[in-house]
Structure 1
Amino acid sequence: MILKKLTYRPDIDGLRALAVLSVILFHINPQYMPSGFLGVDIFFVISGFLITSIIYKEMAEGTFTFANFYNRRIKRILPVFFVVLFTGLLIAWYFFLVRDYYGTANSAIMAVFFLSNIYFSRLGDYFDVAAEQRPFAHIWSLSVEEQFYFIFPLVLLFIFKNKYLKKHKIGALIVGGGILLLSSFVNLKKIGIDLDPYYLPHLRMIELLSGAILSVFLFEKGNRLTTKQSNVLVIIALLALLLFLYLKNFFVFPYFPGVLALLPCIATCLLILANEKGKYIKQLFSLKLIVWIGKISYSLYLWHWLVLAIFRYIYGSGALAIPQLIIAIILILALSVLSYYAVEQVFRYNKLSFKKNLMFFYILPSLVIVAFCYKLYKTEVPEYLMKFPHYPPIACNSCKDKETLMTFGDLNSNYPYKILFAGDSNTAHLVPFIEVVGKKEGWKADVISAGNCPFLFDYQHKETKQDCITMNEYLAKHYKEYDIIILSNTIAEDTYIPNFRQRLLNTIKKLLQEGKKVYLINSSSVYDIDLPKIKHIEKTLGIRWGIPFKGEKYQQNTQHWNVIASMVKDHFPEVKIIDFLPYIPNDGCINNIPIVLDINHLNSYGAKKIAERFIQDGKIMIK
């Protein structure tokens, strides 16, 4: 064992700079660095290496205590962390609609308990457009890191205490990493776990562990590379890492995170190893400006996403316009510098005990955040911002049992035919319509829906979520029990579901062959703006957006629907087609109140008003 004195390496701060700039460039515009999100993987390796170097030396010398370890973590991580959380919550409280603030508050509470990664893994795809407007979506990586450090010191201490494992520390850690790697081959969806693997700790801890293994290796074996070998190896490692960062869509490859994530992790480990004795690349990474960026990288990471998310909430997802981007970058840099010098550096070296730091920098701010969020939960939500105001949410777990299937309309009806509404969220938002029209016409209907999930008999895809699989399995088993089946899906699914049109025709054909009456409903469109949000921002900032509600996107989507409707009518004239778009005003409002929830769903108020107009127009839904 080689217990050398731990010395500061500016080149590692330079590597931090590469990591944070990669992430920021990717989040500004993925075209700038297509796989810049791998900067997080680089951070994990660096963290695992540095933290292990400290605690390994302490354990070897017999000076390690958990109190000291977590005291350092609190002082290093939490002060600026809570500053960012408080700031984000206050900004969201001012700018966000209540419906959107709920999600922000939930994510803040999960962040406080270091469970952000689990929370966001349940919400869905990290690369989804909706994620761009979640202020605390980036906190998932801190949660993974802290979860690792709740476990790893115990593991390492156990290895030190065990006579056999103490002689085989590197091997023990490699075996542990191998077990984690094997877990990446488990298809979670097949065992009923519908979580986005991008965030899951057992897949991400491999990356932290790779840095830890390098640290233990250097303590046990030392760095035997010559300067010449180091100079060659560091160039190879840097080129490989840059290749991975610029490689397009690294995340679409199988087993990422997991086995594939080892590639950038190994390249990072080799950079750290070779740069210890290297010369030229080490000098590059040790330049004052690069090192300074590395030093403020934690603040940069925390602030950059918050600022970008707020800007995208106001101006819309995607690439920001140049003026907006310039302002955002200035804000990110200013806030990062301020928090580094006024928060990080001030509190990092305080002399308080572990108990006092735990109280002042974790327990108290956590209680304040939870209390603040709880108060906002009590805020009454206007009806026009509600999806489902007075009944349980329509979730696909309601599809599993006949007894829990949701039924709406005239519940006392003796209507002779059984009716089923089935489809994606464009079915779910019809429930207030079904309630009003069903009671007027004297029928009731079962409703089954799952987000982004059309009712198609032969739709199975590797990316299909469990609730969608459950819904379609239920429908395949029980559809024969119904006389009338009403399909309401977003036509946008035609753009991402393979052979959507043919699948839709096949489904309708099968239903008709079984003697079912089939309806096809176009209950909404894709509008050019999120009307409730835009109205709120216009009122808050005192500006006029000037973007039409029914603009280019709406026209394109309407044309798309017309093509689908004509196709269905040509093949199956007996299918009843109902289009709600004529009942939706050009400004998206009735009585100056928005009737839409977002860019493509009716809200509760809107669905009721559409029902009233439908009835006033003399229309009959089901005869």
Structure 2
Amino acid sequence: MINQSERIRSMDTLRSIAILMVLLAHTVLGFGAPAGLAPIQLGGMGVDLFFVLSGWLLGGQLFKEMEQGQINIRRFWVRRWFRTLPAYYAVLFFTIGQQVFTKDDPAIPWQFFVFVQNYNYPLEIFSVSWSLAVEEQFYLFVAPFLAITIYLSPNLRLCVLVVLFLLPTFFRYMGWYETTAETHVRLDGCLMGVMLASIKYQQQWIWRLLVRYSGSIALTATVFCVLFFYQRWFPLSWLGDPGFLVRSLMFGAWVVYANSGGFARWYLYFPGSYYIATRSYAIYLLHPDAIAITNRLPLDLSFFPYMMVVFIISVIASELLYRIVEMPFMKLRSKTRMAH
């Protein structure tokens, strides 16, 4: 576990923004997606921000190991699984339990146990888990890939990463997918994060150039992000919804600025970011249940009170999951030999 004093506050802010965007988008959907609010569902691209953050974090860890001459793939996997699997399986078994008690002939969703449900989309249960399948498949790929490239020059490795980054766009262009929940067409964000980590640790002159202009680039990305929402209410002929490539570039700009220097790293922050960021995984897992509970309450609410009820239930449920499941396993990870 990372001590709060060692955390980069700006990254907590980005994690908080990501989960709040997703929560808001799904809350609008749970409310019935009335015409005046439906455009906010674009907030679902907060998942893409999570992908970029994940690629950046894990890429950074692996490139630090690479500097020491070797990447320990087993340790990487063990650490990720201690962090992600306990809470995931806790919610999965809870979801299956609901199906057993409420359905006459519940099917055993075996795909969910091995994280391939995103290739069987749309999902009848645990719908948000498609993105977790993308993440887990990314974990299986990224460490062995970087370990294989350890003897390549940094320039050649970066070129390979650029090609990989562009492949999902090529696959989508060719139509080689059934849905955009499939991993091979949704890895733009993860690979953007890894690319940026590669630049930071192995291409210092490029990183310094990005940092020098990071404020302007991030501001431009933010303006476009606002415009993407705006154009859903007031359509602009020259702008539509952002594609996955554009999202990864936009959120990549945010990550660079968030790590550009002392001012951004410390002051790009709002109160509560640390709390929301540390509970963001649990909130992501449980907010659909919070929406379902809110919809069953005998209340006639306008959207804002409805949203607040969903948020409060999500936070309470996630706090329980965080303390009962996530924290004990993170402590166990710190004592496990294979995680060191």
TM-score by length of 1: 0.46
Counterpart in the other structure of 2:12: 13
- 1:75 lines up with 2:95 in the alignment: no
- 1:88 lines up with 2:99 in the alignment: no
2:58 to 47, 51, 54: 51
Bigger RCO (CA 8 Å, 6+ sep):
2
Q: Judging changes above 3 Å, is the alpha-carbon distance between structure 1 residues 232 and 219 closer, same or farther for their aligned structure 2 residues? A: same
**By percentage of residues, which structure has more strand?**
1
The structure whose Rg is larger is: 1
Query: Alignment partner of 2:51: what SS?
Result: helix
AA of the residue aligned to 1:25:
L
- Per-residue CA distance 1:270-327 (angstroms, 9 max, x = gap): 1111222357665553234122211211111011023324666x68xxx998877655
Counterpart in the other structure of 1:260: 243
Q: CA deviation at 1:344?
A: 1.6
Q: Judging changes above 3 Å, is the alpha-carbon distance between structure 1 residues 184 and 40 closer, same or farther for their aligned structure 2 residues? A: same
In structure 2, stretches of 5+ residues that fail to align are 1-5, 30-36, 234-239
**Equivalent residue runs for 1:122-141 within 5 Å:** 123=122, 134-141=124-131
Q: CA deviation at 1:179?
A: 3.0
Query: Alignment partner of 1:146: what SS?
Result: helix
**By percentage of residues, which structure has more helix?**
2
Q: Judging changes above 3 Å, is the alpha-carbon distance between structure 1 residues 227 and 184 closer, same or farther for their aligned structure 2 residues? A: closer
**Equivalent residue runs for 1:160-175 within 5 Å:** 160-162=150-152, 165-175=153-163
AA of the residue aligned to 2:180:
Y
Counterpart in the other structure of 2:194: 212
AA of the residue aligned to 2:221:
A
- 1:235 lines up with 2:228 in the alignment: no
Counterpart in the other structure of 1:112: 113
Equivalent residues of 2:188, 2:248 under 8 A apart:
no
- Per-residue CA distance 1:173-213 (angstroms, 9 max, x = gap): 1122233321111134xxxx7x2x22111111122101110
2:165 to 172, 177, 181: 177
Query: Alignment partner of 2:150: what SS?
Result: helix
CA RMSD of aligned residues (A): 3.0
- Per-residue CA distance 1:30-58 (angstroms, 9 max, x = gap): 52723011000000000001001001111
Q: Judging changes above 3 Å, is the alpha-carbon distance between structure 1 residues 160 and 282 closer, same or farther for their aligned structure 2 residues? A: closer
- Determine the C-alpha separation between the residues in 2 that align with 1:207 and 1:35: 16
- Determine the C-alpha separation between the residues in 2 that align with 1:228 and 1:161: 30
Query: Alignment partner of 2:180: what SS?
Result: helix
- Per-residue CA distance 1:315-347 (angstroms, 9 max, x = gap): 8xxx99887765543321101112223322221
Q: CA deviation at 1:354?
A: 4.0
Equivalent residues of 1:34, 1:247 under 8 A apart:
no
TM-score by length of 2: 0.81
AA of the residue aligned to 1:17:
S
- Determine the C-alpha separation between the residues in 2 that align with 1:220 and 1:291: 29
Counterpart in the other structure of 1:303: 286
- Per-residue CA distance 1:149-170 (angstroms, 9 max, x = gap): 21122221121134xx554211
- Determine the C-alpha separation between the residues in 2 that align with 1:160 and 1:226: 24
Query: Alignment partner of 2:208: what SS?
Result: coil
Q: Judging changes above 3 Å, is the alpha-carbon distance between structure 1 residues 341 and 174 closer, same or farther for their aligned structure 2 residues? A: same
Equivalent residues of 1:231, 1:280 under 8 A apart:
no
Tell me the matched-pair count: 313
In structure 1, stretches of 5+ residues that fail to align are 1-6, 124-130, 250-255, 356-623
- Determine the C-alpha separation between the residues in 2 that align with 1:167 and 1:229: 22
Equivalent residues of 2:287, 2:314 under 8 A apart:
yes
